[in-house]
Amino acid sequence: MGCAASSRIKPHPAQVAEDEKATAEFERQLANARAAQEANTNAALRFGQQFELTTPMLVMPFGVFKAQGRIMKSTKAWRDEALAAGSLVEHEEGSSQIVIFISHTWWDRAFTDATNDPTNPYDKGAVDFQADYPDEEREMNVKRHSYDEDNYEMVTYQRPKNLKWRVICAGVQRLLEQEGLKEEEVSLWVDWQSIYQDDEAEKLKGVKSVIRYATLCQYMLVPTEEAELDYLAAS
């Protein structure tokens, strides 16, 4: 009974040398890329350390933000409960958690509630619409290019309750998909719930720390009421 001799084709020495060379080059480039990334990270950290961090940076996991259905105001009762539950957490420099800085203006500027100080004329307003308000007509320049003449039209703005919260959720969700990020690894910094709103001394510390907070974030999101940005804002 005969048996077939097994054989293995050995790569040509020249091919082995070429493969080893390619592998070494890949490893060299990977090491350079990692070194450059580390250098950029260290430079960013050194840059950020120029600015004050006078009170901890409080962030909220994106999943919690979606579930709560609105942007919360940082008052003692809510804040204590959120911190105890882990839905509001201190972000540590160097953490692997990805933080998105929400940069925005206050939309409901005349709003007050029981937590506002009636003796302080500046202690009012909310970052999001706190009720379903009527539509508002505003004049807007709708020119599309810098070489176009000004073209003002009346534009209708809808102002439903918690509109900004929905805009933020949609924007972050799109960013997750675009960048391939995992929801559980993403948190948000939003001033109204990340900075004390009922303690003037602590609030001032948070305001002074805003630039430092921004340097600790990987992304910035600017929610807007505009359905379409004009040529200056879009460029």
Q: Which residue has the tokens 């409080």?
A: 58
Strands 58-61 and 186-190: antiparallel
Quick: pLDDT tens for 73-122: 999 999 999 999 999 999 988 888 899 999 998 999 999 888 888 888 88
pTM: 0.72
The average confidence (pLDDT) of the chain is 83
Strand segments, DSSP code E, in 66-225 are 89-90, 98-102, 133-141, 152-159, 186-190, 219-221
Nearest of 147, 162, 1 to residue 70 by alpha carbon: 162
CB 112 within 8 A of CB 131: no
Domain residue extents for the chain: 13-50, 52-129+162-234
Residue type, 6: S
Maximum mean pLDDT: which of 24-28, 44-48, 175-179 = 175-179
What single DSSP character describes residue 72?
P
Buried (b) or exposed (e) across 120-142, using 16+ Cβ within 10 A? eeeebbbbbbbeeeeeeeeeeee
